[in-house]
Structure 1
């Protein structure tokens, strides 16, 4: 009986020791596996800290290239487009210069052309007024027209052959019935030296009236 007890106790002891050893081995193996799993990097983890960081390209103005691509910075024109634009500009330059030259020439021609007046009473008065204005002789269209109609009814060849001047051999003639001595004294340079010329007659009479009455506008009867 005692020997059985001893044997069973010893077996239990051996099993217990064996179990402890096996348990220790399993524990050690589990720890090693855990360490191995922990030490192995996961594919989901970030790159090592010592790996070089990605460098983002920047534009000439210091802004990221992605921002520049969105239109925040001007895009360089294509060389081919610039070349075509330059060719078109160079081709059009002579035409524009020619057009500008023609416009200048036409403008000069218009300035050089003398002003045209109608060959009638209205035209004679208007031409006389322009000459009077240039010479500083006072008078208006109404003043000239009113006196012309009273003196000659607008006939540049009218002659008075009955008054004292006619009796003295120097009859009044023309639109404003001017005698030759008066015409010779008050003739306006630049007009024809002819008593019955409409414009010469008007300007000479207006010049005489300005000297004697201040203006042809102040004449309302024979003068």
Structure 2
């Protein structure tokens, strides 16, 4: 090999080496910017993930808070409904108890009133005098009834006229005077005819001329109307 060739070979080697070095340098330069641009992408992705996690955490907290509020509202509604139901039940029970109490009070009042009436009747019956079933008893009972109805007369006036008219016989009948002839004989203790007895009959006495008390009171009522009182009668009347 000539010196020229040797020089050419060295020069070519230097050129190739320079080219190679330049290429390596260029490659190295091109890789460095690439690495620099990849690092921000990694940071940005981490930041996005962190933001999403924060949002998810906030949403979860809000959901829990909303659920808690809903549960509290439901519990309050249930408590209110229970309170209303309890109040209604208490009011119903109270109204029922009051109605039963009023019913019992009314029944007790009615029973007390009935007892009072019965007791009054019993006392009246107990106080009612018992009259003998004879002329004395008939006159005394008649005087009691006459007093009640405002019919004047005394024991003596009644007794005197009874003895004269019937001798004290409640079944005595006059079958011979003008009244008997006309078909309406005088009957009883004070010899009363049927029309007079019916016209002057005293309420509360028997409707029979033969009843001693009814006969006496009707005759006394008639005599009071005609003569002022049976005491003023001294003969047939």
- TM normalised by structure 2 equals 0.48
**Alpha-carbon distance between aligned partners in 2 of 1:168 and 1:108, rounded to the nearest angstrom:** 46
Tell me how far 1:153 sits from its aligned partner. 0.1
* Pairing 1:195–2:209 present: yes
* Pairing 1:121–2:127 present: no
**Alpha-carbon distance between aligned partners in 2 of 1:108 and 1:203, rounded to the nearest angstrom:** 25
Tell me how far 1:129 sits from its aligned partner. 0.1
Tell me how far 1:108 sits from its aligned partner. 7.4
Unpaired stretches in structure 2, ≥5 consecutive residues: 1-117
**Alpha-carbon distance between aligned partners in 1 of 2:206 and 2:125, rounded to the nearest angstrom:** 21
* Pairing 1:216–2:233 present: no
Match of 2:14 in 1: none
Unpaired stretches in structure 1, ≥5 consecutive residues: 1-104
Q: For 1:36-83, what per-residue CA distance to the aligned partner results, in whole angstroms no more than 9, with x for missing partners?
A: xxxxxxxxxxxxxxxxxxxxxxxxxxxxxxxxxxxxxxxxxxxxxxxx
**Alpha-carbon distance between aligned partners in 2 of 1:131 and 1:190, rounded to the nearest angstrom:** 8
The correspondence for 2:175, drawn from 157, 161, 166, is 161
Aligned length, in residue pairs: 119
Structure 1 segments of 4+ aligned residues over 6 angstroms from their partners? 105-108
The correspondence for 2:192, drawn from 178, 181, 193, is 178
Give the secondary-structure state (helix, strand or coil) at the position aligned to 1:188: coil
* Pairing 1:144–2:164 present: no
**Alpha-carbon distance between aligned partners in 1 of 2:130 and 2:221, rounded to the nearest angstrom:** 23
Q: For 1:167-196, what per-residue CA distance to the aligned partner results, in whole angstroms no more than 9, with x for missing partners?
A: 000000000000000000000000001111
**Alpha-carbon distance between aligned partners in 2 of 1:147 and 1:202, rounded to the nearest angstrom:** 10
- TM normalised by structure 1 equals 0.51
Match of 1:111 in 2: 124
Instruction: Give the superposed CA RMSD.
Output: 1.7
Q: 1:115 to 1:222 in 2, by over 3 A?
A: same
Tell me how far 1:115 sits from its aligned partner. 1.7
- Aligned counterparts, 1:1-223, within 5 A: 109-113=122-126, 114-223=128-237
Match of 1:51 in 2: none
